[in-house]
């Protein structure tokens, strides 16, 4: 509601909103239309429309639809598909985003120099001119540079400060009135969350409140940031966009444009050829700022372009600028190094720049620069900085700006490398943790690139930090897991992957044996998750080529996907493994497209006798292309994992080829052949040659139509696999007859921790009764998946009798069945009762535990969704019981799509009261459920206040009219 004062402001002069909007439009046009990307070349002026950065929409897991269709399940297995966007207009097309409503928050991420600021400036210009869907949907467009925001500033003060010219007489209170009146038609363009001061991004400050929806909840927000800067702390973006930089076409366009402006069009073709043939250079120039530097250096001296490193590129750029300065000023340029006066000024600047970076500031106040007696006028003349007035009226000042933040980081790194002669790196950089190292990743890369001694010092310190923070991680933590992974462990793995990437990037900047040694100490597990054309891949190749038996990692994990051509992949591996590395344990995931490439791969793997895991899933394998691989198994005798899944052209003929090779890999512990087109015939081929695989721990043959006949072939040999822990038999056509064949064999698998028989709807109650009768033999079971197996209350009653024996159960999935209220409530009641082991250790007569209620402390995931007989009454009873499962991290109690369940207020309130008593809960799924306003708000509020709950799923059509849906954890799925 508007206050009386605000209403007075608006009523006193109805033209104020119009004046505000028109003045903002003119202000943007004046400030943003033209810019000079080269601060040392004032003749080079561009319009924002000349700069285009290709966008890629990354579908986040939160926004993927959840359906029971097999095709969708297989698609999710194959990984997310990235969709290229021509503009942000595409985000308002439901067919692109999967959203039924317009997105409220759009996060645009990109690495340094990727063009985020330039892109957002263009969006502001286009929006105020209503050239885009964003502009047509919003009356007010507000572009706010977050680096200018100070602690305690209100949104209205930011708008007055940055969006209104000084010539317009309008106050912050009037702005507040305008924004509140137009609350659903305001577009906030927030640039550079990673540059927002730490004190301005804590809870309760204006930007966090805006992001979380506590202020202007109906407005639209587009926010840019470097990855992992923490935007998600306050909001869960509806769309997550990555700026991927220039496409090949736009690279050529920019090169032509640059050399046309400087009048040297003849240089265009030669640079285009150089760029095309240089993979590393190719990865750099997709970033606009780097392409600009490459053009400048090519114009000056073509040999200065092919440095192979970011540090080399920036060093050459600095040398180029100094030479131009010396030529202009008539100063002698030394044959090596820089003129003394210039070198000293740059080091002084580097010290100030470093201090600013550690304060998360990207600009230098001229007053501070003068106070330190830095020759700033010389720096201006050189072109490494420019002098400008701040865009803030509240904090007016003269300041030194850089062509880009990476230039600031480079200059700081030069100082760090110099200062390390007398200072400790921890003292210089406050380098005390992995998170700090990742925050300073560019600075560390440049520092190592500047000096060998500095590189050694950095790697030594990173090794110390790594040994403190990652001692608990093992290679298996980074591979497919069949049981729930601890939240902290998932976080550690994610952090380690980023840290490993940083270490490889450092090696790319300084390819020296000493850095290889440093990486061996810092990274017990070396990994690559990218294409072979990346900078990390180039560094990894050098690392492998310089490995010695004394410094081998615990494991080398290579996952080479990302659209890499399979021929390039195999060629890359040939260059990596030139000689044999017998002690190196390798996990390899890649694609091959033909028998010839498979044969080349086999030759490469002769030099990797320690190959432990080979994943060739989704690689279009055929029986003929599988043939050379199978022949090569003789060189992979230590292979422990083989994944050929989702190669449906293999068929039975492929299994006939495979059976010959399995004799050559006696240590195989994991075999995944999901969705390979195998029938009962193919299963009989495999079964006939698996007798020697006595150490097999995991077998996945799901999504193959083998039927009961094929199952008979398997069950005949299943008892010999006494080490079996994971058995996945989903969607293979099992009937009750098949279950009667299977269960005697299952009795022998006493170490089984996961059994998945989902998508076998014919199993029904009779089949489940057979299974339930022998579950007491499988006391180590942790994961039981009965998804879509045709069971009803009768089948569940047999399972309930067996559940007390499963004392280690962590995951139970009985979704997509015909269970009713009675069965579901009885199931949950049983799960909430003490386990048989608990009862043995603490008999009912034991008075010592009278104040501590018994509960199941192992169950982490419970999925009871989409059961046709479950109503709101049953779910309400579940809500009353569920708090007795304190270890739950995931709970899915969604209703049935055909007959959505209604949860009355009493049941919803019970669920809201239960959430605080589920301290580990991370995901709650309540799709296809309806609630009254009070109950809905109570559940949402409890979820929002929950310390670990990240996702509350709900369907749009179930939201009560007028309900507040701004909670950051609330994810609304379309129908």
Task: For the sheet with 386-389, list strands across it.
Answer: 364-365, 398-401, 386-389
Residues 6+ positions from 177 with CB-CB distance below 8 Å:
2, 6, 7, 9, 10
> Residue 861 in 3-state DSSP?
strand
Is residue 243 a contact partner of residue 114, using CB atoms and an 8 Å limit?
yes
pLDDT tens per residue, range 50-93? 666 666 766 544 333 332 233 333 333 333 345 677 788 888 88
Q: 175 pLDDT exceeds 90?
A: no
Query: How high is the pLDDT of residue 838?
Result: 47
Is residue 560 a contact partner of residue 569, using CB atoms and an 8 Å limit?
yes
The residue count for the chain: 975
Of 157-166, 362-371, 504-513, 534-543, which gets the smallest average pLDDT? 157-166
- The confidence band for 273, taking pLDDT boundaries of 50, 70 and 90, is confident
Please list the helix, strand and coil fractions of the chain in percent, rounded to the nearest 5, in that order.
Answer: 50, 10, 40
Whole-number Å distance between alpha carbons of 942 and 913? 8
Q: 302 pLDDT exceeds 60?
A: yes
Among 781, 664, 38, smallest CA distance to 384 is for: 38
* Backbone angles phi and psi of 194, in degrees to 5: -65, -15
Is residue 357 a contact partner of residue 443, using CB atoms and an 8 Å limit?
yes
59's tokens: 């579908």
More confident site: 276 or 536: 536
Residues 6+ positions from 263 with CB-CB distance below 8 Å:
none
Query: How high is the pLDDT of residue 113?
Result: 67
Average pLDDT (554-560) is: 94
Question: How many CB atoms lie under 10 A from the CB of residue 700?
Answer: 22
Among 556, 432, 438, smallest CA distance to 498 is for: 438
Q: 493 pLDDT exceeds 70?
A: yes
Among 333, 306, 309, 307, smallest CA distance to 321 is for: 333
Looking up tokens 């070396």 gives: 526
Average pLDDT (359-370) is: 87
Whole-number Å distance between alpha carbons of 396 and 871? 63
Average pLDDT (788-800) is: 96
Q: List C-alpha distances in Å: 451 to 104, 344, 515.
A: 47, 17, 11
Whole-number Å distance between alpha carbons of 430 and 465? 12
836's tokens: 């048989």
In order, the DSSP letters of 433-480 are SHHHHHHTHHHHHHHHHH-HHHHHHHHHHHHHHHHHHSTT--GGGGS-
Q: What's the mean per-residue pLDDT of the chain? A: 86
Among 114, 115, 178, smallest CA distance to 141 is for: 178
Q: 882 pLDDT exceeds 70?
A: yes
> Residue 869 in 3-state DSSP?
strand
- The confidence band for 851, taking pLDDT boundaries of 50, 70 and 90, is very low
Beta strand segments in 691-761, E: 698-700, 726-728, 754-756
Whole-number Å distance between alpha carbons of 732 and 742? 13
Beta strand segments in 652-700, E: 670-672, 698-700
Average pLDDT (562-569) is: 75
Of 106-120, 309-323, 862-876, 882-896, which gets the smallest average pLDDT? 106-120
More confident site: 28 or 751: 751
Query: How high is the pLDDT of residue 38?
Result: 62
Whole-number Å distance between alpha carbons of 599 and 594? 9
Whole-number Å distance between alpha carbons of 666 and 351? 60
Looking up tokens 């736009």 gives: 250
pLDDT tens per residue, range 160-172? 888 887 777 777 7
Whole-number Å distance between alpha carbons of 548 and 583? 10
pLDDT tens per residue, range 451-468? 999 999 999 999 999 999
**β-pair type (951-955, 586-589):** unpaired
Query: How high is the pLDDT of residue 479?
Result: 87
Distance of CA 765 to the CA centre of its chain: 41
Average pLDDT (9-22) is: 59
Query: How high is the pLDDT of residue 15?
Result: 56
In order, the DSSP letters of 123-148 are HHHHHHTT-SHHHHH-SEEEEEEGGG
> Residue 223 in 3-state DSSP?
strand
- The confidence band for 39, taking pLDDT boundaries of 50, 70 and 90, is low
Give the dihedral sign, CA 420/229/286/617: positive
Q: 761 pLDDT exceeds 90?
A: yes
pLDDT tens per residue, range 884-895? 999 999 999 999
Whole-number Å distance between alpha carbons of 74 and 456? 47
Looking up tokens 């520092």 gives: 447
Looking up tokens 């410094």 gives: 551
357's tokens: 């970076």
> Residue 428 in 3-state DSSP?
helix
The end-to-end CA distance of the chain, in Å, is 33
**β-pair type (239-245, 54-58):** antiparallel
Task: Tell me the sheet residues that pair with 728.
Answer: 700, 756
Q: 545 pLDDT exceeds 60?
A: yes
Task: Tell me the sheet residues that pair with 684.
Answer: none
């Amino acid at each position: 509601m508007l206050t009386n004062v605000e209403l007075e402001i608006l009523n006193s002069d109805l033209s104020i909103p119009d004046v505000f909007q028109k003045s903002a439009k003119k202000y943007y046009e004046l400030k943003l239309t033209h810019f000079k990307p080269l601060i040392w070349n004032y003749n080079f002026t561009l319009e924002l429309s000349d700069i285009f950065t290709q966008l890629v929409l990354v579908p986040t897991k939160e926004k993927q639809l959840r359906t029971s269709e097999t095709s969708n399940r297989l698609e999710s297995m194959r990984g997310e598909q990235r969709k290229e966007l021509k503009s942000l207009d595409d985000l308002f097309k439901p067919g692109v985003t999967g959203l039924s409503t317009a997105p409220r928050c759009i996060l645009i991420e990109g690495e340094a120099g990727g063009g985020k600021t330039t892109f957002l400036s263009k969006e502001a210009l286009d929006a105020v001119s209503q050239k885009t869907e964003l502009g047509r949907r919003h009356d007010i467009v507000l572009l706010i540079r977050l680096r200018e925001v100070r602690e305690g500033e209100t949104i209205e003060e930011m708008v007055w400060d940055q969006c209104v010219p000084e010539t317009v007489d309008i106050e912050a209170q009037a702005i507040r009135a305008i924004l509140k009146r137009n609350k659903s038609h305001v577009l906030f363009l927030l640039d550079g969350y990673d540059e927002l001061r730490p004190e301005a991004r804590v809870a309760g400050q204006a930007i966090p409140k805006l992001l979380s929806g506590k202020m202007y909840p109906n407005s639209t927000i587009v926010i840019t940031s470097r990855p992992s800067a923490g935007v998600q702390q306050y909001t869960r973006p509806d769309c997550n966009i990555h700026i991927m930089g220039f496409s090949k076409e736009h690279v050529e366009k920019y090169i032509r444009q640059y050399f046309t402006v400087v009048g040297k069009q003849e240089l265009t073709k030669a640079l285009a050829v150089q760029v095309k043939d240089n993979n590393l250079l190719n990865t750099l120039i997709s970033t606009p700022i780097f392409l600009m530097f490459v053009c400048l250096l090519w114009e000056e001296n073509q040999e200065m372009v092919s440095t192979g490193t970011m540090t080399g590129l920036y060093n050459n750029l600095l040398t180029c600028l100094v030479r131009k300065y010396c030529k202009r000023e008539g100063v002698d340029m030394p044959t090596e190094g820089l003129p003394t006066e210039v070198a000293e000024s740059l080091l002084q600047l580097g010290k100030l720049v470093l201090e600013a970076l550690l304060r998360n500031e990207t600009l230098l106040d001229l007053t501070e620069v003068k106070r330190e007696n830095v020759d700033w006028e010389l720096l201006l003349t050189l072109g490494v900085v420019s002098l400008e007035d701040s865009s803030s009226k509240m904090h007016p000042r003269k300041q030194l700006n850089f062509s880009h933040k990476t230039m600031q980081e480079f200059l700081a790194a030069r100082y760090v490398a110099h200062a390390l002669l007398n200072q400790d790196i921890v003292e210089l950089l406050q380098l005390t943790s992995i998170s700090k190292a990742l925050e300073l990743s560019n600075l560390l890369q440049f520092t190592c690139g500047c000096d060998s001694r500095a590189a050694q010092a950095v790697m030594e310190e990173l090794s110390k930090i790594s040994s403190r923070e990652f001692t608990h991680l093992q290679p298996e933590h980074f591979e497919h897991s069949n049981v729930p992974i601890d939240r902290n462990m998932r976080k550690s793995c994610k952090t380690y992957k980023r840290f490993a990437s940083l270490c490889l990037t450092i090696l790319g900047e300084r390819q020296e044996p000493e850095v290889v040694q440093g990486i061996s100490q810092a990274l017990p597990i070396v990994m690559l998750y990218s294409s072979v054309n990346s900078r990390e891949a180039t560094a990894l190749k050098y690392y492998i080529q310089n490995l010695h038996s004394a410094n081998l990692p615990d494991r080398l994990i290579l996952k080479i996907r990302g659209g890499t051509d399979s021929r390039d992949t195999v060629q890359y591996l040939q260059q990596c493994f030139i000689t044999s590395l017998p002690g190196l344990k390798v996990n390899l995931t890649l694609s091959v497209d033909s028998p010839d490439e498979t044969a080349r791969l086999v030759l490469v793997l002769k030099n990797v006798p320690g190959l432990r895991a080979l994943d060739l899933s989704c690689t279009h394998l055929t029986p003929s292309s599988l043939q050379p691989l199978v022949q090569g198994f003789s060189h992979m005798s230590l292979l422990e994992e083989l994944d050929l899944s989702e190669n449906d052209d293999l068929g039975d003929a492929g299994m006939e080829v495979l059976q010959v090779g399995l004799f050559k890999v006696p240590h195989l512990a994991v075999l995944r052949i999901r969705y390979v087109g195998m029938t009962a015939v193919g299963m009989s081929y495999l079964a006939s040659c698996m007798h020697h695989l006595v150490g097999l721990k995991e077998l996945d043959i799901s999504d193959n139509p083998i039927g009961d006949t094929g199952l008979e072939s398997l069950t005949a040999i299943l008892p010999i696999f006494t080490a079996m822990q994971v058995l996945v038999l989903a969607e293979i056509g099992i009937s009750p007859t098949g279950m009667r064949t299977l269960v005697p064999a299952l009795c022998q698998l006493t170490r089984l921790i996961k059994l998945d028989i989902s998508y076998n709807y014919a199993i029904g109650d009779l089949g489940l009764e057979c299974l339930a009768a022998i579950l007491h033999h499988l006391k180590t079971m942790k994961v039981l998946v009965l998804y879509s197996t045709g069971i009803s209350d009768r089948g569940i009653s047999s399972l309930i009798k067996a559940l007390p024996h499963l004392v280690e159960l962590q995951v139970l999935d009985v979704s997509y069945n015909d269970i009713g209220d009675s069965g579901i409530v009885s199931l949950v009641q049983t799960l909430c009762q003490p386990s048989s082991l608990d009862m043995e250790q603490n008999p009912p007569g034991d008075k010592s535990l009278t104040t501590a209620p018994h509960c199941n402390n192992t169950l982490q995931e419970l999925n009871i969704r989409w059961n046709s007989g479950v109503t709101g009454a049953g779910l309400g009873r579940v809500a009353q019981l569920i708090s007795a499962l304190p270890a739950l991290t995931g709970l899915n109690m969604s209703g049935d799509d055909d007959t959505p369940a209604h949860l009355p207020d009493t049941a919803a309130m019970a669920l809201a009261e239960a959430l605080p008593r589920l301290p580990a809960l991370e995901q709650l799924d309540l799709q296809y459920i309806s609630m009254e306003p009070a109950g809905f708000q109570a559940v949402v509020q409890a979820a929002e206040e929950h310390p670990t709950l990240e996702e509350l799923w709900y369907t749009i059509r179930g939201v009560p009219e007028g309900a507040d849906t701004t909670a950051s954890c609330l994810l609304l799925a379309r129908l």
